[in-house]
Chains A and B, each alone.
Chain A
Amino acid sequence: MSQKLHDHALQSQKQVIDRLTMIHKRQRIGHAYIFDGSNGAGKEAVAQYFTKLLLCMDPKENVPCETCNSCKRIESGNHPNVVLIRPDGQDIKKDQMSELIMKMTKKGYEEGRKVYVIVNAERMNSSAANTLLKFLEEPEGNVTAILLTNSYPSILPTIQSRCQRISLQSMNRQSSIESLVEKGVTASMASTVTMMTANVEAAYEMAQEDSFVQRRRLVLKLVEAIEQRTPGEALLFIQTDWMPFMKEKSDCEQGLDLLLFAYRDIVAVKAGLQSTISYPDQLEVFTGHSVKNTYSSLTVKIDAVLQAKKRLHQNMNRTLLLEQLVLTMQEGLLFV
């Protein structure tokens, strides 16, 4: 994460930082925390801040000094008492977890607390999670665990119950939109990118990307094609227009997210909740679609997109995946 994004993340999480400061001030440091927050909320930045606070040699008024040897080494990932693990491939495996526990059951290399950070903790596979559970339950010595996740419910309830939960706020979307508009992003684009990420800096960068603008346009066309109810056209659209712009898995995921938000808008319009819309420029078109669709047919479509997202992670052939998606979305209409 660049320094700028990092600082920004810390500023936007003022409440969480205040809470961590209080924890430090009272010296009531728990043995396990879960930081949960949406993508871009700055979980890693906050975890690093907390680690520094716990290990800083000279914290001033419960704020790490950022200049001592400990703080610097945490910044560069060289502090011997801090261990950070990330998913190795798809998930966090049992071997990684046993290795971590072996490290943590030894006394710290240096005096003081030991800290371990598990990034994407929701991706621990079940044997890894159970291995960790035993260690979380009865930690030996001065250890603090920090689990980071963007999906609190996917963490084993037994792990949840052993950790203190600290929720990172998502930025107030309205104020993010305003700050983006100030920077010269169009209002409709600002509404879309703030749905994609909670971090204003990242959202701004996304709005500047040509490929993202292109993808947004494609998704709106796809919605049109699906709603016209002529099966051939939507399939053709996938082949000719969609695939050339969605070469990578991450592109495709972004595309599916955009599609999901579009249908979310249609449902919102139908229900009369206009304030949260992600494509304000499409309001009229979406109003038209919302009249033609029943709630149940919209549910079928949204379900289909969610299914497709899941299959994308299972590495299904992407062309087939999208064709199947389009067909389900259109056929769904015929049956209901």
Chain B
Amino acid sequence: MQFEIMRDRLLDGLSDVVKAISSKVTTPILTGIKLEITEKGLTMTGSDSDITISTFIPVEEDGTQIIQTIQPGTLVLQAKVFNEIIRKLPTNEVMIELRDGMKTHIRSGQSEFHIIAQSADEYPILPDVKDAERFEMPADLMKSLIRETVFAVSQQETRPVLTGVQWIMKEHELYCIATDSHRLARRIVTPEIQANSPFNAVIPGKSLQELSKILPDDSTAVEIFIANQQVLFKLHNVLFYSRLLEGNYPDTSRLIPIEYKTSITINGRNLLQAIDRASLLAREDRNNIVHFSTDGSPHVQISSNSPDVGNVEELVEAVDIEGEPLKISFSAKYMMDALKAIDGQDLKIHFTGSMRPFILKSIDSEAILQLILPVRTF
């Protein structure tokens, strides 16, 4: 194989691919980057066996020639060495050529490197994706839906399936659900382009966080393909694959209460700040617990008591309070995470007694739902 490429474009592509490469892998081939050159362009692939990032550089873009003199072929080069070499080459033209078996020549200006390559046959095979499982949504929506759910995944590995976010397609709506069995975050979106067949997949939380880092902040369309083993997110010239989690995700729909005894409408930002202040003292305590109560007045009282440090009380004005008076306690951290996910505006909190889970929703949409289990203190 042989080709000539513009160095700056190669570096752009490499910068995404190296994000997937980890120094801790046990499979020796995954310390390398796979390069595949065809008449259409160059594909580079890097992986840590959980996630895989692939970038494509076309032969020609907007009338400029990026790659020239192509002889198709594939090879695998040590990621660290290759990246450093390309970064430090003297000119913008890079010539890569595979000669005499596995010896790779990298030439730029007067400098020439000879690198030992590995055979691309050793590289893991990426799954085939079918258009049937394809759907599409804008990158910024995807980014926010990751932000609104992924914080709630379990950090403990005792139930591995809970370390992921469930993506399930029901009646043309995509439900994204994350729970660590103390709280739950659910986001519903309606993708612009629907998948033909329904699916139910659990995507590891860590992979989604990595994905979020490479997603742009605009409305570029992201194509999503769910295959048997892996999920593929495709944006422009970057492909992001992640392995799915094995096992059945628990049925969470029954956890969400439908009838409420107390419903409160309140400004989210004010409540967030009040809880943050109350947790200053609660944090000293092991559980970080704050108390929340209503007594028929148009205020809710937030308080916290830490015997060694002191106590705090604050009244927050509610927009509307319906139903029975209520006393309840919960983890300040969970509440703050949930309020941050709903972001700012007025929101509704529905309670079903002080021992039952309660839910937070945005006032004007059903799309985001946060559920928290209270703590027994009263």
B122 touches A105 (CB 8 A): no
A111 touches B228 (CB 8 A): yes
- The answer to the question of B234 belonging to the interface, with a C-beta cut-off of 8 Å to chain A, is no
In A103-132, the 8 Å CB interface with B consists of 103-111
A80 and B127 alpha carbons, distance in the complex (Å): 12
Interface stretch (choices B37-45, B54-62, B103-111, B241-249): B241-249
- B-side contacts of A80, CB under 8 Å: 27, 30, 49, 124
A78 touches B229 (CB 8 A): no
- The answer to the question of A76 belonging to the interface, with a C-beta cut-off of 8 Å to chain B, is yes
Contact with A along B57-75 (1 / 0, CB 8 A): 0000000000000000000
A101 and B204 alpha carbons, distance in the complex (Å): 14
A110 touches B247 (CB 8 A): no
**Given known A69-B121, A106-B245, contact A78–B28 (CB-CB < 8 A):** yes
- The answer to the question of B26 belonging to the interface, with a C-beta cut-off of 8 Å to chain A, is yes
- The answer to the question of B354 belonging to the interface, with a C-beta cut-off of 8 Å to chain A, is no
- The answer to the question of A318 belonging to the interface, with a C-beta cut-off of 8 Å to chain B, is no
A292 and B50 alpha carbons, distance in the complex (Å): 67
A103 and B30 alpha carbons, distance in the complex (Å): 15
A34 and B204 alpha carbons, distance in the complex (Å): 31
State how many angstroms separate the Cβ of B13 from the closest Cβ of chain A.
Answer: 22
A89 and B321 alpha carbons, distance in the complex (Å): 63
In A19-33, the 8 Å CB interface with B consists of none
Contact with A along B220-249 (1 / 0, CB 8 A): 000000001110000000000001111100
- B-side contacts of A106, CB under 8 Å: 50, 204, 243-246
- The answer to the question of B125 belonging to the interface, with a C-beta cut-off of 8 Å to chain A, is yes
A72 touches B122 (CB 8 A): yes
A80 and B52 alpha carbons, distance in the complex (Å): 12
> Which of B29, B204, B229 meets A111, CB within 8 Å?
B229
A110 touches B245 (CB 8 A): no
- A-side contacts of B50, CB under 8 Å: 106
B160 touches A102 (CB 8 A): yes
- The answer to the question of A73 belonging to the interface, with a C-beta cut-off of 8 Å to chain B, is yes
> Which of A69, A78, A102, A107 meets B157, CB within 8 Å?
A102
State how many angstroms separate the Cβ of A25 from the closest Cβ of chain B.
Answer: 26
A37 and B125 alpha carbons, distance in the complex (Å): 35
A80 and B123 alpha carbons, distance in the complex (Å): 9
A126 and B208 alpha carbons, distance in the complex (Å): 34
A98 and B160 alpha carbons, distance in the complex (Å): 10
- The answer to the question of A288 belonging to the interface, with a C-beta cut-off of 8 Å to chain B, is no
- The answer to the question of B161 belonging to the interface, with a C-beta cut-off of 8 Å to chain A, is yes
B49 touches A111 (CB 8 A): no
A106 and B143 alpha carbons, distance in the complex (Å): 23
In B150-196, the 8 Å CB interface with A consists of 157, 160-161
- A-side contacts of B245, CB under 8 Å: 105-107
B27 touches A105 (CB 8 A): no
Report which residue of A72, A73, A79, A107 has the largest number of chain B beta carbons within 10 angstroms of its beta carbon: A107
- B-side contacts of A78, CB under 8 Å: 27-29, 122-124
Report which residue of A102, A103, A109, A110 has the largest number of chain B beta carbons within 10 angstroms of its beta carbon: A109
- A-side contacts of B27, CB under 8 Å: 77-80
- Could you tell me how many residues of chain B have their Cβ less than 8 Å away from some Cβ of chain A? 25
Report which residue of A76, A102, A105 has the largest number of chain B beta carbons within 10 angstroms of its beta carbon: A105
- A-side contacts of B247, CB under 8 Å: 105, 140-141
- A-side contacts of B122, CB under 8 Å: 72-73, 76, 78
- The answer to the question of A206 belonging to the interface, with a C-beta cut-off of 8 Å to chain B, is no
- The answer to the question of A83 belonging to the interface, with a C-beta cut-off of 8 Å to chain B, is yes
A79 and B122 alpha carbons, distance in the complex (Å): 8
- B-side contacts of A98, CB under 8 Å: 157
B157 touches A140 (CB 8 A): no
A79 and B27 alpha carbons, distance in the complex (Å): 7
State how many angstroms separate the Cβ of B202 from the closest Cβ of chain A.
Answer: 9
In A47-75, the 8 Å CB interface with B consists of 69, 72-73
A101 touches B29 (CB 8 A): no
- B-side contacts of A103, CB under 8 Å: 49
In B236-271, the 8 Å CB interface with A consists of 243-247
- B-side contacts of A101, CB under 8 Å: 157, 160
B49 touches A72 (CB 8 A): no
- A-side contacts of B161, CB under 8 Å: 105, 140
**Given known A72-B121, A77-B27, A80-B49, contact A107–B160 (CB-CB < 8 A):** no
B157 touches A109 (CB 8 A): no
State how many angstroms separate the Cβ of A126 from the closest Cβ of chain B.
Answer: 18
State how many angstroms separate the Cβ of B69 from the closest Cβ of chain A.
Answer: 30
**CB nearest neighbor in B for A75:** B122
- B-side contacts of A104, CB under 8 Å: 246
**Given known A102-B157, A107-B228, A109-B230, contact A83–B125 (CB-CB < 8 A):** no
State how many angstroms separate the Cβ of B14 from the closest Cβ of chain A.
Answer: 22
> Which of B28, B157, B229 meets A110, CB within 8 Å?
B229
A107 touches B29 (CB 8 A): no
- A-side contacts of B30, CB under 8 Å: 80
A105 and B122 alpha carbons, distance in the complex (Å): 24
**Given known A69-B121, A78-B28, A141-B247, contact A105–B160 (CB-CB < 8 A):** yes
A111 and B230 alpha carbons, distance in the complex (Å): 9
Q: 3 nearest interchain CB pairs?
A: A105-B160, A140-B247, A80-B124
15 inter-chain pairs at a CB distance below 8 angstroms, sorted by A residue, are A69-B121, A77-B27, A78-B28, A79-B124, A80-B30, A83-B26, A104-B246, A107-B245, A108-B243, A109-B230, A110-B124, A110-B229, A111-B228, A111-B229, A140-B161
Q: Which residues of B pack against A, CB within 8 Å?
A: 26-30, 49-50, 121-125, 127, 157, 160-161, 204, 228-230, 243-247
Q: Which residues of A pack against B, CB within 8 Å?
A: 69, 72-73, 76-80, 83-84, 98, 101-111, 140-141
12 further interface pairs, Cβ-Cβ under 8 Å (given A78-B28, A106-B204, A111-B229): A76-B122, A78-B27, A78-B29, A80-B27, A83-B26, A98-B157, A102-B157, A104-B246, A106-B243, A108-B243, A111-B127, A111-B228
